[in-house]
């Protein structure tokens, strides 16, 4: 019985330390400064966009830490309760070990063994539940660590389109589907940028395009660089709904030389092929 209590005590997870992340400085002064040094320079906008993305990551990491700490503390409390309950039930059985009645000692010993087995299984199952609760949180931290700390924002002076505007929109069986996806995306203009957001109060870039195409009945992969699906098309062949894909960002062609994308907030901008130094992966039609 002592060994069982020790085993349950050994299952207790370590208490997570409090997480103290430094606050970021206010980078908004970079906007007028860059305008003074080089009119139209996107440097200040890029800096502020990056600061916003890092701040969002900082909030997410803090929330993950708080959630994980709550799971850990709940498990510790339950294991302590199990140990106390096991001790309380064992105390009621122990006197029978000294009983002179034939068979009483053997019966008491068997009951203690059963109690030990039951409580050991319960404690082990609770620790496995904790691991399952922490696994998705660990996955979220991995995504934060592997995500570029940038967010798509327009330049202070709207640039001219850097690719030819489509002169026509060829007929396609997917055009109606693409227009439905565009309508869904445009309905979210003004929605805040949220890292990892897929529609619950905010969007990131690929979360917006995935959500919008889902409203049109088409399921896309989750990450921007994975949304190079369907048929690759040229700039002249673009129709509403086609995706404009970089290695860390994705937008949707909305027609008339415009794209809709999850900046901060969701917004429309002129069609372009550059985005903060990211490699351009081309134009893609999911239903092509």
- Structure confidence by residue, pLDDT tens digits, 186-218: 999 999 998 888 988 899 999 999 999 999 999
pLDDT tens digit string along 54-70? 767 777 777 888 888 88
Please tell us whether the domain made up of 175-285 is placed in CATH 1.10.1740.10.
Answer: no
Q: Per-residue confidence at 85, pLDDT binned at 50, 70, 90?
A: confident
> Kind and range of the H or E element at 21?
none
pLDDT greater at residue 153 or residue 14:
14
Stated as kind and residue range, the H or E segment containing 27 is none
What pLDDT is stored for residue 22 in this prediction?
61
DSSP 198: B
Residue whose token pair is 């002076």: 157
Q: How far apart, in whole angstroms, are the C-alpha atoms of residue 189 and residue 170?
A: 27
- The pLDDT, as a whole number, for residue 245 is 95
Q: What is the pLDDT of residue 278?
A: 85
Name the more confident of 144 and 123: 123
Mean predicted lDDT score pLDDT of the chain: 79
Distance CA 139, CA 137 (A): 5
Closest listed residue to residue 152, CA positions, set 243, 258, 266, 34:
266
> How does 71-109 read in b/e, with b if 16+ C-beta sit within 10 Å?
bbeebbebbeebbeebeeebeebeebeeeeeeeeeeebe
173 CB-near residues (< 8 Å, 6+ apart): 287
Sequence-distant (≥ 6) Cβ neighbours of residue 62 within 8 angstroms:
19, 21
Q: Give the C-alpha separation, 60 to 98, whole Å.
A: 58
Cβ neighbours of 229 (radius 10 Å): 18
* 3 state SS for 94-161: HHHHHCCCCCHHHHHHHHHHHHHHHHHHHHHHHHHHHHHHHHHHHHHHHHHHHCCCCCCCCCCCCCCC
Distance in angstroms (rounded) separating the CA atoms of residues 68 and 52: 24
- More confident of the two residues 155 and 250: 250
For a pLDDT cut of 70, what percent of the chain falls above it? Answer: 76
Domain boundaries, the chain: 1-146, 175-285
Q: Is the pLDDT of residue 27 over 60?
A: no
């Amino acid at each position: 019985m002592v060994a069982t209590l020790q085993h349950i005590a050994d299952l207790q997870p370590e208490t997570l330390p409090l997480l103290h992340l430094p606050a970021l400085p206010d980078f908004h002064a970079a906007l007028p400064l860059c305008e003074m040094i080089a009119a139209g320079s996107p440097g200040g906008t890029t800096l502020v966009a990056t600061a916003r993305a890092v701040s969002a990551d900082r909030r997410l990491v803090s929330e993950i830490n708080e959630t994980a700490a709550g799971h850990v503390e709940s498990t510790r409390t339950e294991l302590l309760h199990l140990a106390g309950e096991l001790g309380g039930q064992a105390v009621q059985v122990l006197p029978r070990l000294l009983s002179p009645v034939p068979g009483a000692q053997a019966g008491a010993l068997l009951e203690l063994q059963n109690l030990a087995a039951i409580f050991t299984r319960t404690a082990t199952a609770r620790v496995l539940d904790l691991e399952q609760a922490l696994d998705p949180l660990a996955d979220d931290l991995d995504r934060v660590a592997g995500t570029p700390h940038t967010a798509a924002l327009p330049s202070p002076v709207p640039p001219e389109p850097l690719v030819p505007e489509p002169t026509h929109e060829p007929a396609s069986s997917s055009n109606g589907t693409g227009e439905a996806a565009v309508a869904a995306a445009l309905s979210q203009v003004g929605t805040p940028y949220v890292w990892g957001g897929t529609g619950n109060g905010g969007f990131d870039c690929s979360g917006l395009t995935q959500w919008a195409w889902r409203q049109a009945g088409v399921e896309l992969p989750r990450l921007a660089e994975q949304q190079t699906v369907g048929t690759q098309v040229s700039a002249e062949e673009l129709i509403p709904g086609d995706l404009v894909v970089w290695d860390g960002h994705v937008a949707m062609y909305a027609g008339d030389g415009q794209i809709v994308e999850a900046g901060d907030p969701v917004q429309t901008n002129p069609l372009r092929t550059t985005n903060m130094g990211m490699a351009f992966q081309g134009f893609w039609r999911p239903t092509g």
